[in-house]
Structure 1
Amino acid sequence: MAGRLAAPLRRHLLAEEQGSVELLPGFTVNGVDVGIWTTGQTDPTVWDTLSPEQQKRLESLGLHRTDTAPAATTAAGKGEAFERGIAALTQYATREGRVAVPRAHVEETPHGPVRLGNWISNTRSSRNKLTVEQREQLAAEYGNANMDLALRGLELKTLDPYLAGWRMRVVPALGHLAVRMITNGAVDRTVQNWIADDLSRSTVKNTIAVLVRVMEQAVRDGIIKVNPARVTGWQKLYKQAEDELLDPRALALPD
């Protein structure tokens, strides 16, 4: 196992230029939860059974024998890691005003550094492994669970384009985020990306509409105080794009 993980751990987890970063449970490399794996390997009851060569290989990765055995509650460790990831993302979004996090970013928190970019990537890929409570914090799971309430009162002919917008555009763009992490700025940038992808006005309108309804339900549930999906001015971007196509000189820089 150590041999299979050695190169990825060095490359992704033990970047010396960024200092020591805790490997939280839930961080996967090659399909292995290395947060749990590294904790287990450094446990004295496991470390002392390893050969000298195996111990050297672990030490080359920055892992060393611990003085005490780790807590046995794996599920609790994963839950704590998830909450720390959410807290780190909240801190990042508050400071930067956005939720698009570079993959290599490490967020310094009062409880230690968190590899936030990797945490987001792993949350996306391992959503099915989260607890019910954790999944309910994510926009995709919250929307899926409350879609009937969010879309109540709509005519049947409206449901299909709304649901398609949710499934094909909202979930891939914002579904991995906690509901309370979806800001007005995040929605604004996402809408701009949809427009840049040459989606039609009606497609963008229906997609924004279903997002507004889901976020409005979150307001009613007390998860957030203000609906961040009520963005304005996006129609003007279409007019701007049309003007630039008709007059390419509008893109030229002034002399």
Structure 2
Amino acid sequence: MKNLEYVFLLLALIAEIVGTIGGFGSSVFFVPVANFYFDFQSVLALTALFHFSSNLSKIALFRRGLDKRLLLYIGIPSVLLVVVGGAVTKFFNTGFLEAALGIFLVSLSLLLLVKKDLVLKPNTSNAVLGGGISGFAAGLLGTGGAIRGLAMAAFNLEKSAFIATSAFIDFFVDMSRTIVYYLNGFMHEDLLLYVPFLFVIGFLGTYIGRYILKFISQDNFKKTSLVLIFGIGLVTILKIVFMH
């Protein structure tokens, strides 16, 4: 147990709680935080494994709200493109991927902070496009839930329906990219030590987030989350700059 990064596990719990409340999913916080402790390929593998427990808990807690139509329109292109994104990661060096992650987080958070009322049209083409882009980003950079969330927001889903549908899509996305990352050789043996802890954290963080959600306005919390995402993205970029 002496090799465990306990601070990392605490930050993973916070990422899961904040991700559940903000509606962005834990990976948008988990990936850049884990990147300070592990190499980027290991981060991708850990994120996929972490999301299994996280999404299973969300499915169990919010399953009644599932929107089967969006599960197909957004889920299918997400699963197909996450395989493509995961497959091409081995052709890029980790420095490039880390920089791309930082730029992605900063750009996305700024867009949603400036365009507060940004809403896509609730049609099939936007659902398919949003699902495809989010899947590719998840495979390549480890996180794409915020893009999928933007596409899903167009359909004005009730809160539990939003979380349930997103969790079901994420479950299949993570299952697909876990296989790809394994074939890429990203699943290092030393990472297995963290798997049981991350499974517990996934369930616990989702439960706590769901409880807090009863007392906090999701819109107000979302603004705070976006500021945090911007800050994390900026720190990720600065880390790359100072390292090189």
Q: TM-score, normalised by structure 2?
A: 0.30
Q: Which has the larger radius of gyration?
A: 1
Q: TM-score, normalised by structure 1?
A: 0.29
